Amino acid sequence: MLPSTRCMLQHSLRRLAPHDRSKTIGFIGLGAMGKEMANNLLSKTLAANPDPAVTFVVHDTFEQSITRFLTANTSLYPNRNILAASSPAGIAKLSGTIVTMLPSSPQVKSVYTEENGILDGLESYCSASADDIQAKTLCIDCTTLDPKVAVETATTIKSANAHSAFDMIDAPVSGGVVGANAGTLSFMVGSNSSTSFATAEPYLAMMGSRAIHCGKNGNGLIAKIANNLLLGISMLGVTEAMLLGTAHGLPPKVLAGIINTSTGKCWSSEVNNPCPGALEGTKYSPPADRDYEGGFAARLMAKDLKLAMNTAKLEGVPTPLGQLTSSIYEALGGNEEYGGKDFGVAFKALSAALGREEFKGGREEV
Ligand code: NAD
């Protein structure tokens, strides 16, 4: 028997109160971000609510992630209901609040609207129960995905119940794995309904320190994608500036110190400087100092920049720098050595090309 199934049975036997969907939180996607967010959501929910009916159900396609989550948390909270479901439909049958944290658009489509997805679970719950209050479900999707897919998926979920019992909002995050672990994420929320935003806020507050209602469904994602477009461009800018200075003999710490007290300062120079050693002696410890391990992967930046380019095209927004940045991150993201490393790895890749003849040439008089 799988450990998750065993836990589920043990907890079903232990349950003291009848199951209550309104007191059940489902979480799908226990990856780098999701497992930290789920840990915070679970621990803070249980701390705030001693009610034995409170239940937390998780699902992921990677069985080991479920086992790790259940093993750690059922020993921390032995008398509480912490379960696993074998599909998103199983999560939806049990939970009045569902948080999803998935890689991108294809996985969100699959988890919400394909076979054994959330929609199937909601429909099957409603066909078995006439209780509109218990059917009430809010899905909070924290994935960074195509805003168009997010809006289409939310429309499908909402229109599945004639009594408006279902809603889905987009709530992508900024703050990375460190922010997810510390519970200090920023949520950018797209929700047609201010009531749904207000319902989501207490849950978001357990995983983050800020939630901003950006307007209608999809707007949270537009904000997130615009931010990451700028982040990708600024990281390449800092990379080139640090490379130019250090190639001419400036010590990384001296150059970073100057940039960070001058007009070039940005997050990529001050907190996540891509040049190893540049932030030595400061309070920051960027992935560059650990061979780019443990940050925001270049392949995720490549994905976000592609989303930005697609989103820009919809309104005919000119993005010359974005296109160049996107093509550079597409190459880095698809590279076996660099794809899984922090996106500051652009510095390492460009350093490898340093001094090549094709980049040399006569100086222009200016
Ligand atoms: P990840 O790949 O580590 O985690 C994704 C999880 O989803 C995995 O556990 C995977 O097994 C699970 N999954 C995939 N398909 C599934 C399915 N069909 N059903 C159930 N589970 C499924 O990714 P991550 O780093 O946690 O990122 C998640 C999202 O957050 C992405 O959209 C990413 O762009 C965004 N994000 C990431 C960071 C970061 O620093 N990693 C920062 C901000 C935003």
Task: Give 63-117 as a DSSP string.
Answer: HHHHHHHHHHHHHHSTTSEEEE-SSHHHHHHH-SEEEE--SSHHHHHHHHHSTTS
Residue 249 domain flag? yes
359 in any annotated domain: no
* Ligand 1 atom having least distance to the Cα of 143: 32
Atom of ligand 1 nearest to the CA of 177: 40
Instruction: Tell me how far the alpha carbon of residue 302 lies from the centroid of ligand 1, in angstroms.
Output: 14
Q: Enter the tokens of residue 5.
A: 């199934």
Q: pLDDT by residue (tens digit) across 3-44?
A: 444 444 444 434 445 789 999 999 999 999 999 999 999 999
Between 147-158 and 219-247, two packed helices, what is the crossing angle to 10 degrees? Answer: 160
> What CATH number has the domain bearing residue 54?
3.40.50.720
**Dist CA 338 CA 329 (whole Å):** 10
Nearest CA to ligand 1 atom 25: 32
Do 232 and 343 touch, CB atoms closer than 8 A? yes
CA distances from 90 to 111, 116, 120 (A): 11, 8, 9
**Which residues, at least 6 apart from 56, have a Cβ–Cβ distance to it below 8 Å?**
24, 25, 27, 38, 41, 42, 45, 46, 73, 80, 81, 82, 83
DSSP of 187-221: EEEE-S-HHHHHHHHHHHHHHEEEEEEEESTTHHH
173 alpha carbon to ligand 1 midpoint, in Å? 12
Name the closest-CA residue to atom 44, ligand 1: 173
Whether residue 362 is contained in a domain is answered as no
Q: Are 70 and 84 in contact (CB under 8 A)?
A: yes
Ligand 1 centroid vs 271 CA: distance in angstroms?
23
Domain boundary among 216, 238, 262: 216
**Does the pLDDT of residue 317 top 60, yes or no?**
yes
pLDDT value at residue 7: 45
Q: Which of 199, 216, 233 is the last residue of a domain?
A: 216
| Residue that terminates a domain, selected from 170, 189, 216 | 216
Distance CA 349, CA 353 (A): 7
In the 8-state DSSP scheme, what is residue 359? G
Is 224 one of the annotated active-site residues of the chain?
yes
d(CA 346, CA 340): 12
Nearest protein Cα to ligand 1, atom 39 = 176
Same domain for 339 and 201: no
Q: Would you place residue 162 in the very low, low, confident or very high pLDDT band (cuts 50, 70, 90)?
A: confident
Ligand 1 neighbours by CB, cut-off 6 Å: 28-34, 59-62, 65, 101-104, 107, 110-111, 143-144, 173, 176-177, 296, 300
One domain for residues 122 and 150:
yes
Q: Which of 109, 224, 303, 348 is catalytic?
A: 224
Domain with 86 in it: 3-216
**342 and 257, same domain (yes or no):** yes
pLDDT of 17 reads 56
What pLDDT digit, counting tens, does each position of 94-127 carry?
999 999 999 999 999 999 999 999 999 999 988 8
Pocket test for ligand 1, best of 61, 143, 345 (most atoms within 8 A of CB): 61
Question: Which residue, judged by its Cα, is nearest atom 9 of ligand 1?
Answer: 31
- Per DSSP, the residues of 323-342 read HHHHHHHHHHHT-TTTTTSB
Model confidence at 303, pLDDT cuts 50, 70, 90, reads very high
Task: Convert 116-141 to b/e letters by CB count within 10 Å (16 or more is b).
Answer: ebbbbbbbebbeeeeeeebbbbbbbb
Q: What integer is the mean pLDDT of 273-297? A: 96
Whether residue 358 is contained in a domain is answered as no
* 180 and 83 belong to one structural domain: yes
Predicted local confidence at residue 62, as pLDDT: 97
Residue 11 Cα to ligand 1 midpoint, Å, equals 27
pLDDT number for residue 275: 98
Say whether both 128 and 196 belong to one domain. Answer: yes
User: What b-and-e string marks burial along 229-241, b requiring 16 or more CB atoms within 10 Å of the CB?
Assistant: bbbbbbbbbbbeb
Using most ligand atoms within 8 A of CB, pick from 30, 98, 102, 299 the residue to mutate for ligand 1: 102
Output the CA 170–ligand 1 centroid distance in Å: 15
Atom of ligand 1 lying closest to residue 145 CA? 32
Mutate to test the pocket of ligand 1, among 59, 101, 229, 301 (most ligand atoms within 8 A of CB): 101
For the chain, how many structural domains are there in total?
2
Q: SS in 3 state form for 243-273?
A: HHHHHCCCCHHHHHHHHCCCCCCCHHHHCCC
Maximum C-alpha span of the chain:
81
Percent over 90 (pLDDT), the chain: 85
**What is the Å distance from ligand 1's center to 53 Cα?**
29
Domain identity same for 227 and 186 = no
pLDDT in tens, 181-207: 999 999 999 999 999 999 999 999 999
